[in-house]
Chain A
Amino acid sequence: MSIASNTPSAFRRTGRRRAAFQEKLVKRIFFLCALVSVLTTLGILGTLLNEAIKFFLDVPVWSFLTGTQWSPLFSPPYQSFGVLPLVAGTLLITTVAAAVALPVGLATAIFLSEYAPERVRKTIKPILEVLAGIPTVVYGFFALTFVTPMLQKVLPELLVFNALSAGLVMGLMIVPMVSSLSEDAMLAVPRSLREAAYALGATRIQVSLRVVVPAALSGIVAAFILALSRAIGETMLVTIAAGATPKLTLNPMESIQTMTAYIVQVSLGEAVHGSLEFRTIFAVGFLLFIMTLVMNVLGYFVVRRWREKY
């Protein structure tokens, strides 16, 4: 229905039905664009599950999750599918990286948010952004050709491929992530809280450590979790510098293999599609996906809690 109009005009006010149709069509198309992201998730889950389930028909889930020997590429009598060595390698590297990135990242965040004058902040933040943007192969190169030789001068027994050097460089790599997310959390702490503490005669360090950090704690914890999740999923750096020998060890001086590095190793080898060997990477990938998903969801909930507070 059109509203009665008594003014003749040059406007094409008819054809509204076609416009309405076009409107609907455009909306559909955009909806489909948004749907692609959901399809991606379904695709990831579907392909990982599809291949992983076929794998678990041959290898029992329990022996996969609890086995301490990973040698899927050997011939049958020596073949073994215990994923623990890969998980241990991943966690070992992540622990070393956390030991570097958490304190350094948090200290950087406190410095930027509570101490640094605006001018200093404006120079340091882009530097950290560059650090975050460097491709991971470059970090791998740095770990293998610089950090490892330097460490070997102090620790002569250190192997060429080792968890320590890869972990340390990985720590450097995720410092920007820890610091920028923590800084965001600290900047969200109301000024009034700081001023209240200063008005009681607190020093700057007391305000920082006793007021700001506790108030921003859940944001900082979320930053830690997300950065560690990133470290768990990081691939090229560990493939290059940490080695290719799955080993159940806590010693960072040794050569190990992470879950991600194993996936790269097999996919480089032109594995036959459909073979058991090919399916292992999907089983490992599925476990990796679950691990990072749990951490990301955890981080999301911690942030949510923190948001509700203000």
Chain B
Amino acid sequence: MAEVAEIAINVKNLNVWYGSFQALKDINLEVEKNQVTALIGPSGCGKSTLLRCFNRMNELIPGARVGGQVMFAGTNLYDASVDPTEIRSRIGMVFQKPNPFPKSIYQNVAFGLKVNGYQGNVDEAVERSLRRAALWEEVKDRLGTSAFKLSGGQQQRLCIARALAVEPEIVLMDEPASALDPIATLAIEDLIRELAPEVTIIIVTHNMQQAARVSDYTAFLMVSEERSGYLVEYGPTSQIFTNPKEERTEAYITGRFS
């Protein structure tokens, strides 16, 4: 990597509590722009919690508290004056299970455009988003039908299209393929690779091969004795998977524990 990397998100001393339970402890992380970063680690290590810190979705959970900084475009996301709805329109999210709204395919994609007061041509934006999500050819003749009529993989690509429509700079993906069959999973992975040059993608996955296939950078998290998650190692994916600095990383990657 010759060019100087730009930082999309800079996490400084991040701590997260649910009530009195500390879910994440002292996380420091610099996510590079327009790259794919994978968050891996055993279940319960807080990788989804970390992901949700990037667009302040944790706030929707009662009792959740966040300490530290998440810098985005020169601003701390947790600054009191920052409006979470603005962040979420610039940092999109795709969830574990496909969760289309009980609306038509078209309305699903148009929803985010409407809530963010899109001034351009909505039809064009919907088409553009569906094309970027590699779904257009499959649904262009039935945009008015219910999103529930799509297959699971199609639904997930619709959810990606829905997130892309808002033109986010970053897309967060929380195990986006875990509910899908292998073929649909491959389609999602291809899509992630295609999107990467234009958008920063942060993906949580429990699937080691998937992390190796799709990501440029990998962050490995573990659980401490007090069940708090902490960052063990972060670096280029090739290095993490072939030549990890930490023994614990190697043990996890080679499947000696999970």
Interface residues of A (CB under 8 A from B): 1-7, 9-13, 15-16, 19-20
Contact yes or no, A12 B73, CB < 8 A: no
Contact yes or no, A13 B89, CB < 8 A: yes
* Chain A residue at minimal CB-CB distance from B125: A10
Contact yes or no, A5 B90, CB < 8 A: yes
Contact with A along B64-103 (1 / 0, CB 8 A): 0000000011110001011101110110000000000000
Contact yes or no, B89 A11, CB < 8 A: yes
Contact yes or no, A20 B83, CB < 8 A: yes
**Interface of B, helix, strand, loop or mixed by DSSP:** loop
Interface residues of B (CB under 8 A from A): 72-75, 79, 81-83, 85-87, 89-90, 116-120, 166-167, 169
A24 to chain B, nearest CB (A): 13
A4-B73, A16-B86 as given contacts; A11 in contact with B81, CB under 8 Å: no
Contact yes or no, B75 A12, CB < 8 A: no
Residues of B within 8 A of A5 (CB): 73, 90
Contact yes or no, A7 B167, CB < 8 A: yes
Question: A2 to B82, alpha carbons, bound, how many Å?
Answer: 7
* Chain A residue at minimal CB-CB distance from B87: A3
A1-B81, A5-B90, A16-B85 as given contacts; A11 in contact with B118, CB under 8 Å: yes
Contact yes or no, B120 A3, CB < 8 A: no
Question: A50 to B82, alpha carbons, bound, how many Å?
Answer: 51
Residues of B within 8 A of A11 (CB): 89, 116-119, 166-167
* Chain B residue at minimal CB-CB distance from A14: B117
Contact yes or no, A12 B117, CB < 8 A: yes
Contact yes or no, A3 B167, CB < 8 A: no
* Chain B residue at minimal CB-CB distance from A11: B116
Residues of A within 8 A of B82 (CB): 1, 3
A100 to chain B, nearest CB (A): 46
Contact yes or no, A10 B75, CB < 8 A: no
Residues of B within 8 A of A10 (CB): 118-120
A87 to chain B, nearest CB (A): 46
Contact yes or no, A9 B167, CB < 8 A: yes
A186 to chain B, nearest CB (A): 33
* Chain B residue at minimal CB-CB distance from A7: B169
Residues of A within 8 A of B116 (CB): 11-13
B96 to chain A, nearest CB (A): 27
Residues of A within 8 A of B89 (CB): 11, 13
Contact yes or no, B72 A3, CB < 8 A: yes
* Chain A residue at minimal CB-CB distance from B167: A9
